[in-house]
Amino acid sequence: MDLTDRFTTAAERAGARVVRCPRRSALLDYLAAEAAGSILLPNFAVGSRLNLAAGLRQRNCPVITEDFRRLAPRADSGVTGANFALADTGTVVLDSTDEPLRLASTLPLRHFVILDPRKILADSMAAVGVLGQLQKHPDPGFTAFITGPSRTADIERVLTIGVHGPAQLHILLLQGVSEDLLES
């Protein structure tokens, strides 16, 4: 099994939905179809490269690109990229030091992550170096490992999704948008 397949299996086991998007338009169509209500779209490299804001607006989606503090609590969906991913656990890794990225990935019920499959690493041990690069620079940093949706089993051990964070985690695989593990 190649890394993408391994990643997909593990992420789906953790409750994420993994979608292979053949091209930009397919990704935008998926977002437009699955995102309900307003969409938080923070500034990130792949998002700009794909010109997501324009694409979503063309599809009549209400897109929020600023004033996140005020608007994020009522938004339904958030779209971010990912720095890289871990195949063995189905984890996406997002440097979310920028507040809009943090808000878009923590508050809404739906979180969409765009990931270039070339950024999938085998496991966490393969990520030691890049995690070090993210955490060793002089400025503050907030790196998130995200594996599946928000979950709890605190009432009678019954697995329940979406207690505080996103209830849905959609991982959109799109080839050819980034190979750089230090950008999302």
Partner 1 sequence: MNRQRDRNYRARIEAALAATRQQDALHRFGDAYLEARRQAFTGMDFEALRQNVSRLKDEVDSHREDYLEQFSRLARAAGARVFRAVDGAAANAYIVDLARRHGVRLAVKSKSMTSEETGLNAALRQAGVEALETDLGEWIVQLAGQRPSHMVMPAIHMFRDEVAALFGEVTGEAEPVDIQHLVGVARRQLRNRFLEAGMGISGASLAVAETGTLALVTNEGNARLVASLPPLHVVLVGIDKLVPTLEDALCVLQVLPRSATAQVMTSYVSWIRGPVPREGQARELHIVLLDNGRSTLAADADCKDALRCLKCGACANVCPVYQTIGGQVFGDVYVGAIGLVLTAFFSGLEPAGELIGACIGCRACAAICPAAIDLEEIILRLRRRIGDREGLGLAKSLVFRQVLRNRRLFHALLRGASLLQKPVFGGRDSIRHLPLHFSSLTEWRTLPVIVEKPLRDLLPAVENQPVSGHRQVALFAGCATDFVHPRIGLSLVKLLNRADMAVSFPLQQTCCGIPALYGGDRETATELARQNVRALLADNPQAVITVCPTCSTALRRHFVELLQDDAEYAEAARRLAGITRDAAVFVAEQGPDPAAHVQRGTLTYHDSCHLKRRCGVWQEPRQLLSEAGWQVQEMERADRCCGFGGSYSFAGYPEISREITKDKVNAILRSGAAVVATDCPGCLIMLRGALEKRGLGLRAAHTLELLGEALPDSSR
**Residues in touch with partner 1 (CB under 8 A):** 10, 14, 68-69, 73, 86, 88-91, 97-99, 102-103, 106-107, 124-125, 127-128, 131-132, 134-136, 138-158, 160, 162-166
Output 23 or 69, the one with its CB closest to partner 1: 69
CB-wise, 150 or 178, nearer to partner 1?
Answer: 150
Q: How far is C-alpha 48 from the chain's CA centre? A: 15
Q: How far is the CB of 160 from partner 1 (least distance, A)?
A: 4
End-to-end CA distance of the chain: 25
Ramachandran category for residue 148: left, alpha or beta (phi over 0 → left; psi -120 to 50 → alpha): left
Q: Least distance in Å: CB of 109 to partner 1?
A: 9
From residue 168, give the alpha-carbon distance in Å to each of 38, 90, 140. 15, 15, 28
Adjacency order of strands within the sheet including 91-95 = 91-95, 84-86, 120-121
The least CB distance from residue 131 to partner 1, in Å, is 5
Q: Which is nearer to partner 1, 51 or 135 (CB)?
A: 135
CB of 179 to partner 1, least distance (A): 22
